[in-house]
C-alpha cells in the first residue's frame, strides 16, 4: 500500500502521509518519505516542500507494533537526516498530534505550522525508551534545555500555543492547514532553509546546577524507571556536544533503553490499555443506552467521589442519602475537593458553583425516577444492598442501568432481588473515586450486552480505565490483594520486621508497602471482616498479631498507632518496639522460631501469591485476558508499570520458574494456600506464557 504520495502545487511539492489510524512511521512511510526527498532533491521544478497528513492526525510516532521485529531499512534516523539536509525549504503542516518520531520528523523540517488544536510531544519515555531520531538533540536547540527536559521526561502532550511560545511552531493557522502551509512554503523559498541541527544551543540556562535541580525535582515520579535518567543524559549531551556526537550518544542510550526489559513492559501496558474495551460478544453494532442523568445512593467516602466523575463530564447527578446530615456532609466534601482543585489552578473558582449545580441532593427515592443509571454505594452489607435494590426496582423507570459499587459481594444475588436482572451489573470504583483511574465493570450472569457495552463506553466518557471482570469474591483486584496481604503478614510472623516487608515491596516498585497500606486503610476494617468470616476460613497465623494490635487500640494511622507509630500531624510511619514485642509473642505462641527474611524472599512470596491468584481468575474466565489483570493492578493498586503488571512480570520470569517456585512453597509452607492454578500448570508445562494465552484466545475470536 502506498502510504506517502506527492502532488505538485505549482512549484511546491505537497507530500501526504496516509497510514491509518494514526499515520505511524511504519516501514512504508519511512521509505516513502525518503524516496520523495531523494527524488525532489534533484527536481529543479520543485522549490519547496510541505509534509502533511491525511486523516485524524499528523504522524503519531514510530510504529510500536514494529518494535518487536527485525529493523528494516531505512531507519527513521536516515529519514529525518535526509529531510533536514534538503536544500529547499521543508514545511511541516501539523494537525492532531505530532508525537515521538512524528515530532522528530517535524523538527527535521525547516519550518512548522499547526492548527490551534494540535498537540506535540515526545512520549517515548512512557514506552520505556527515549526519542531516538534526534528528538533529544533538536528539541533543546529550538526550545531550550529546560523545556526539552520537561517535555521529554514528562512525555506530556504540549498544546500548540505552548509549542508556539517555545519556538517549536512558527505559526498557528485557524483553518485550511494545507492551504496555509503551501502559502508559508511559498514565502519560505526566499528565506531559504533553517536547519534545526545547526541552531546554537542556549547554554546560559543549561548549567550543571540546572540539571542537578531537575534530577532532584523528578526523582519521586521517576523512581525505579530506567529511561528517564538516560533521557536527561541525552539533553546534557545536546548541551555539551556538537550535533553529530550528540546524535551518536542519543543512539547509544536509546539502544540501552530498548534492550531493557522495562521497554517491553511499558509497551505491553500501552497495548493492554487499548485491549480492555474488546469484549467477547460486544461490538460496534451492540446497541448502547443513553445516559443523560445519573443517580447515586450513599454520599459517603465512595458516593461523593463517584458522583464527581459524572459532574466532571457534565452529566447531572441526583445523590440520595438516608439522613440530611449525611447528605450535607457528603456534599461538603465534594465542594471542598472542587475548591482545592480550583485553588491549585485546575479551573477558575467560579466553576465550582457550576459543578455543584449539577448535583441534586435528595432523601427521596422518587427523585431517582428520571435517572438513566443508578449506582449504589451504601454500606457493604448484603441485607442493605438487597433492600436498596428492591426499592430501586420499584421506582426506577424501565431501561435504567442499576449498578452496585460493592467491593466483594455477589452481584448475581443482588440482581436476583429485582425483576430486571439483565439491567444490573457491578461498577466498582477505587478510592478516592474521583482520582483513581481504574473501574472494574462486573458482568453478572444475566447482565445484558447493551448494558455492558454502555458502561464500557461510559468509562471512557468519565475518563476511567474500565476493565470487565466476572462475579467472584473481590472481582479481579481485591481478590488478588487478599493472598498478597496474607503472605506479607506471614512474612512478619515468620521473622521479618514490618518495615523490612514494606521496604522490600517498596523497592520492588510498589508505591507503599502492605503494612503502611493497612495502617492507612485502618486495621479495624480487616479485623471486623475477619470476625464475620470465621477462623477456619482464613490464615489465623497471618492476622492474629494484627488483631492483637487492634484490640490494643492500634487501629492505624487515623489514631496515630497501628503497625507503626505516628507522631501528631505526621503521616510518616515509625517502627515501634511495642509492636515488635506483640509480634514476637505471637510468633512464640504459634510455635514459630523467628528467622530473618531476605528482601528477595519477601518479594517472591508476595508476587507468587498475586500471580497464582491472577492465573486462577484467568482460568475461571473471571478476566478475559491476562493483560486486563495487568491493567487492573497497575491502575488500581500502583503496581509498577515498568514491570508491566503481575502477569507480564510472571512472563518475564518464565512461567516454568513461577510454577516451580509455587511448588517449592507448597513443600515448605504446606498445600493449604499454595495450590498452583490449573492454568499456570498447563501453560508452564506447555512452555507457554500468559501473553501466548491471550494471543491464542484473540485468534479464536
Ligand atoms: N504505533 C502503532 N500503533 C499505534 C500507535 C503507534 N505509535 N499509536 C496508536 N496506535 C494504534 C493503537 O494501538 C490503536 O489501535 P487499535 O485501534 O487497533 O487498538 C489505534 O492506533 C488508535 O489509538 P488510540 O486508541 O490510542 O487513539 P486515540 O485517538 O485515543 O489516541 C494517540 C491517539 C494520541 C496518537 C495515541 O494513540 C498515542 O498516544 N499513541 C502513541 C504515541 C507514541 O507513543 N508515539 C511515540 C512512539 S515511539 C517513537 O516514536 C520512537 C522514536 O523516537 C524513534
Ligand atoms: P461509607 O460508610 O463512607 O458511606 C456509605 C454511605 O451510605 C453513608 O453515608 C450512609 O449514610 C449511606 N447509606 C447507608 N445506607 C443507605 C441507604 N439505605 N440508602 C442510602 N444511603 C445509605 O462507605 P464507603 O466507603 O463509601 O463504601 C460504600 C460502598 O463502596 C461499599 O459497598 C464499599 O464496599 C464500596 N467500596 C468502598 C471503597 C473504599 O475504599 N471505601 C472502595 C471501593 C468500593
Q: What is the CATH number of the domain that holds 690?
A: 1.10.1040.50
For residues 503 and 606, membership in a common domain is answered with: yes
Residue 685, strand partner residues? none
The preferred substitution site among 57, 60, 100, 234 for testing ligand 1, maximizing ligand atoms within 8 Å of CB, is 60
Asked if 124 is an active-site residue, the reply is yes
Q: Residue range 210-231: average pLDDT? A: 97
Atom of ligand 1 nearest to the CA of 63: 1
Q: Residue range 49-77: average pLDDT? A: 95
Q: Is 98 in the pocket of ligand 1 (CB under 6 A)?
A: no
For residues 466 and 489, membership in a common domain is answered with: no
Beta strands in 612-665 (DSSP E): none
Measured by CA distance, the residue closest to atom 44 of ligand 2 is 407
Asked if 604 is an active-site residue, the reply is no
Separation of CA 15 and ligand 1 centre (Å): 22
pLDDT > 90? residue 684 = yes
| pLDDT at res. 55 | 97
Spell 426-441 as b/e; 16+ CB within 10 A means b. Answer: bbbbbeebbebebbbb
The preferred substitution site among 295, 300, 426 for testing ligand 2, maximizing ligand atoms within 8 Å of CB, is 300
d(CA 325, CA 322): 9
Atom of ligand 2 nearest to the CA of 387: 18
Q: Residue range 582-595: average pLDDT? A: 96
d(CA 673, CA 508): 23
Which one, of 271, 265, 237, 275, lies nearest residue 128 by Cα? 265
Q: Residue range 599-607: average pLDDT? A: 98
For residues 220 and 365, membership in a common domain is answered with: no
The preferred substitution site among 296, 298, 365, 381 for testing ligand 2, maximizing ligand atoms within 8 Å of CB, is 298
The preferred substitution site among 3, 17, 22 for testing ligand 1, maximizing ligand atoms within 8 Å of CB, is 22
Q: How many domains does the chain have?
A: 3
For residues 187 and 302, membership in a common domain is answered with: no
Q: How confident is the model at residue 533 (pLDDT cuts 50, 70, 90)?
A: confident
| pLDDT at res. 45 | 97
For residues 324 and 234, membership in a common domain is answered with: no
d(CA 489, CA 602): 10
Q: Look up residue 191 and give its three cell numbers.
A: 528565506
Tell me, yes or no, whether 276 lies in a domain.
no
Separation of CA 63 and ligand 1 centre (Å): 8
- What percentage of the chain has pLDDT greater than the value 90? 97
Q: How confident is the model at residue 700 (pLDDT cuts 50, 70, 90)?
A: confident
- Of the candidates 124, 440, 494, 500, the residue annotated as catalytic is 124
Tell me, yes or no, whether 593 lies in a domain.
yes
d(CA 690, CA 649): 10
Q: Residue range 583-593: average pLDDT? A: 96
3-state secondary structure of 452: helix
DSSP string for residues in 82-131: HHHH-SS-EEEEE-SEEETHHHHHHHHSSEEEE-TT-EEE-GGGGGTS--
Measured by CA distance, the residue closest to atom 25 of ligand 2 is 301
| pLDDT at res. 215 | 98
Q: Residue range 352-370: average pLDDT? A: 97
Grid look-up 507509630 returns 565
| Domain C-terminal end among 444, 473, 502 | 473
Pocket of ligand 2 (CB under 6 A): 297-303, 320-322, 326, 377-380, 384, 388, 405-407, 429-431
Tell me, yes or no, whether 626 lies in a domain.
yes
For residues 585 and 667, membership in a common domain is answered with: yes
pLDDT in tens, 244-287: 999 999 999 999 999 999 999 999 999 999 999 999 999 999 99
Tell me, yes or no, whether 26 lies in a domain.
yes
For residues 343 and 250, membership in a common domain is answered with: no
Measured by CA distance, the residue closest to atom 24 of ligand 1 is 274
Q: Is 133 in the pocket of ligand 1 (CB under 6 A)?
A: yes
Average pLDDT value for the chain:
97
pLDDT > 90? residue 656 = yes
- Measured CA to CA in angstroms, residue 613 lies from 359, 619, 624, 681 at distances of 40, 10, 15, 13
pLDDT > 80? residue 1 = no
3-state secondary structure of 465: strand
For residues 235 and 341, membership in a common domain is answered with: no
Tell me, yes or no, whether 270 lies in a domain.
no
Tell me, yes or no, whether 500 lies in a domain.
yes
Tell me, yes or no, whether 273 lies in a domain.
no
Q: Is 131 in the pocket of ligand 1 (CB under 6 A)?
A: yes
For residues 461 and 484, membership in a common domain is answered with: no
End-to-end, the C-alpha distance of the chain in Å comes to 27
d(CA 300, CA 311): 17
Q: Is 123 in the pocket of ligand 1 (CB under 6 A)?
A: yes
For residues 447 and 547, membership in a common domain is answered with: no
Which one, of 619, 429, 102, lies nearest residue 629 by Cα? 619
- Of the candidates 73, 78, 104, 186, the residue annotated as catalytic is 104
Atom of ligand 1 nearest to the CA of 65: 2
Rounded to the nearest angstrom, the gap between the alpha carbon of residue 408 and the centroid of all alpha carbons in its chain is 23
pLDDT in tens, 134-145: 999 999 999 999
- Sheet of 465-470: strands edge to edge? 359-362, 317-320, 294-297, 373-376, 401-404, 424-429, 438-443, 465-470
Measured by CA distance, the residue closest to atom 27 of ligand 1 is 22
Which one, of 244, 210, 217, lies nearest residue 138 by Cα? 244
Atom of ligand 1 nearest to the CA of 130: 53
pLDDT > 90? residue 532 = no
For residues 385 and 424, membership in a common domain is answered with: yes
| Domain C-terminal end among 454, 473, 492 | 473
pLDDT in tens, 611-643: 999 999 999 999 999 999 999 999 999 999 999
Ligand number nearest to the C-alpha of 377: 2
Separation of CA 378 and ligand 2 centre (Å): 3
Higher local confidence (pLDDT), 85 or 699: 85
Q: How confident is the model at residue 475 (pLDDT cuts 50, 70, 90)?
A: very high
Q: What is the CATH number of the domain that holds 219?
A: 3.90.226.10
Q: Is 471 in the pocket of ligand 1 (CB under 6 A)?
A: no
Separation of CA 540 and ligand 2 centre (Å): 28
For residues 411 and 514, membership in a common domain is answered with: no
Atom of ligand 1 nearest to the CA of 155: 44
- What percentage of the chain has pLDDT greater than the value 70? 100
Q: What is the CATH number of the domain that holds 298?
A: 3.40.50.720
Helices within 540-625 (DSSP H only): 540-551, 577-589, 599-619
| pLDDT at res. 244 | 95
pLDDT in tens, 366-387: 999 999 999 999 999 999 999 9
| pLDDT at res. 408 | 93
Measured by CA distance, the residue closest to atom 16 of ligand 2 is 378
| Domain C-terminal end among 235, 259, 283 | 259
pLDDT > 90? residue 355 = yes
3-state secondary structure of 403: strand
Domain that holds residue 155: 4-259
Tell me, yes or no, whether 282 lies in a domain.
no
Atom of ligand 1 nearest to the CA of 271: 13
DSSP string for residues in 274-339: HHTT--TT--TTS-------EEEE--SHHHHHHHHHHHHTT--EEEE-SSHHHHHHHHHHHHHHHH
d(CA 359, CA 213): 44
Separation of CA 3 and ligand 1 centre (Å): 17
Beta strands in 143-246 (DSSP E): 158-159, 171-172
Amino acid at each position: 500500500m502506498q502510504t506517502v504520495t506527492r502532488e505538485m502545487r505549482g512549484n511546491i511539492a505537497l507530500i501526504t502521509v496516509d497510514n491509518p489510524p494514526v499515520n505511524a512511521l511504519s516501514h512504508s512511510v519511512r521509505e516513502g518519505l525518503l524516496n520523495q526527498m531523494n527524488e525532489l532533491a534533484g527536481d529543479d521544478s520543485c522549490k519547496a516542500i510541505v509534509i502533511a497528513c491525511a486523516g485524524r492526525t499528523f504522524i503519531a510516532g514510530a510504529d510500536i507494533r514494529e518494535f518487536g521485529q527485525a529493523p528494516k531499512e531505512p531507519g527513521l534516523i536516515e529519514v529525518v537526516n535526509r529531510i533536514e539536509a534538503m536544500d529547499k525549504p521543508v514545511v511541516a503542516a501539523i494537525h492532531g498530534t505530532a508525537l515521538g518520531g512524528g515530532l522528530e520528523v517535524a523538527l527535521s523540517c525547516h519550518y512548522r505550522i499547526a492548527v490551534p488544536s494540535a498537540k506535540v510531544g515526545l512520549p517515548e519515555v512512557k514506552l520505556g525508551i527515549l526519542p531516538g531520531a534526534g528528538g533529544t538533540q533538536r528539541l533543546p536547540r529550538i526550545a531550550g534545555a529546560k523545556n526539552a527536559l520537561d517535555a521529554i521526561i514528562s512525555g506530556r502532550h504540549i498544546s500548540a500555543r505552548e509549542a508556539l511560545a517555545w519556538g517549536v511552531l512558527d505559526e498557528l493557522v485557524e483553518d485550511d492547514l494545507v492551504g496555509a502551509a503551501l502559502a508559508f512554503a511559498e514565502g519560505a523559498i526566499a528565506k531559504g532553509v533553517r536547519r534545526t541541527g545547526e541552531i546554537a544551543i542556549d547554554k546560559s540556562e543549561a548549567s550543571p546546577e540546572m540539571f542537578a535541580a531537575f534530577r532532584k525535582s523528578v526523582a519521586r515520579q521517576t523512581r525505579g524507571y530506567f529511561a528517564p535518567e538516560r533521557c536527561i543524559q541525552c539533553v546534557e549531551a545536546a548541551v555539551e556536544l556538537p550535533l553529530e556526537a550528540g546524535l551518536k550518544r542519543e543512539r547509544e542510550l536509546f539502544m540501552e533503553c530498548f534492550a531493557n526489559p522495562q521497554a517491553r513492559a511499558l509497551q505491553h501496558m500501552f497495548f493492554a490499555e487499548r485491549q480492555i474495551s474488546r469484549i467477547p460478544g460486544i461490538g460496534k453494532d451492540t446497541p448502547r443506552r443513553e445516559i443523560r442523568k445519573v443517580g447515586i445512593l450513599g454520599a459517603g467516602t465512595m458516593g461523593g467521589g463517584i458522583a464527581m466523575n459524572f459532574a466532571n463530564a457534565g452529566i447531572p447527578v441526583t445523590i440520595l442519602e438516608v439522613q440530611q446530615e449525611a447528605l450535607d456532609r457528603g456534599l461538603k466534601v465534594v465542594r471542598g475537593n472542587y475548591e482545592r482543585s480550583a485553588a491549585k489552578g485546575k479551573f477558575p473558582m467560579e466553576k465550582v458553583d457550576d459543578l455543584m449545580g449539577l448535583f441534586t441532593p435528595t432523601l427521596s427515592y422518587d427523585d431517582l425516577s428520571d435517572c438513566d443509571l443508578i449506582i449504589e454505594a451504601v454500606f457493604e452489607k448484603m441485607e442493605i444492598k438487597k433492600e436498596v435494590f428492591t426499592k430501586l426496582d420499584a421506582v426506577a423507570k424501565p431501561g435504567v442501568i442499576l449498578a452496585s459499587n460493592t467491593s466483594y459481594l455477589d452481584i448475581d444475588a443482588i440482581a436476583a432481588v429485582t425483576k430486571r436482572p439483565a439491567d444490573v451489573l457491578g461498577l466498582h470504583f477505587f478510592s478516592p473515586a474521583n482520582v483513581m483511574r481504574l473501574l472494574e465493570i462486573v458482568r453478572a450472569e444475566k447482565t445484558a450486552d447493551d448494558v455492558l457495552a454502555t458502561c464500557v463506553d461510559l468509562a471512557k466518557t468519565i475518563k476511567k480505565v474500565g476493565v470487565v471482570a466476572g462475579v467472584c469474591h473481590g472481582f479481579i483486584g481485591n481478590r488478588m490483594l487478599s493472598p498478597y496481604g496474607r503472605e506479607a503478614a506471614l512474612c512478619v510472623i515468620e521473622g521479618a520486621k514490618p518495615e523490612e516487608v514494606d521496604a522490600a515491596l517498596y523497592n520492588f516498585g510498589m508505591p507503599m508497602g502492605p503494612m503502611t497500606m493497612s495502617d492507612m486503610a485502618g486495621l479495624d476494617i480487616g479485623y471486623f471482616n475477619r470476625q464475620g468470616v470465621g477462623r477456619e476460613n482464613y490464615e489465623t497465623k497471618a492476622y492474629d498479631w494484627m488483631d492483637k494490635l487492634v484490640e490494643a487500640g492500634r487501629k492505624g494511622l487515623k489514631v496515630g498507632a497501628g503497625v507503626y507509630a505516628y507522631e501528631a500531624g505526621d503521616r510518616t510511619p515509625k517502627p515501634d518496639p511495642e509492636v515488635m514485642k506483640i509480634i514476637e509473642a505471637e510468633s512464640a505462641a504459634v510455635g514459630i522460631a523467628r528467622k530473618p527474611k531476605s528482601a528477595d524472599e519477601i518479594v517472591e512470596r508476595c508476587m507468587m501469591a498475586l500471580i497464582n491468584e491472577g492465573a486462577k481468575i484467568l482460568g475461571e474466565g473471571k478476566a478475559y485476558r491476562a493483560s486486563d489483570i495487568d491493567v487492573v493492578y497497575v491502575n488500581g493498586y500502583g503496581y509498577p508499570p515498568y514491570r508491566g503488571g503481575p502477569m507480564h512480570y510472571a512472563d518475564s520470569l518464565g512461567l516454568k520458574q513461577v510454577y516451580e517456585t509455587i511448588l517449592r512453597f507448597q513443600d515448605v509452607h504446606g498445600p493449604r494456600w499454595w495450590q498452583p492454578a490449573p492454568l499456570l500448570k498447563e501453560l508452564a508445562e506447555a512452555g507457554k506464557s500468559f501473553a501466548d494465552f491471550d494471543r491464542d484466545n484473540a485468534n479464536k475470536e
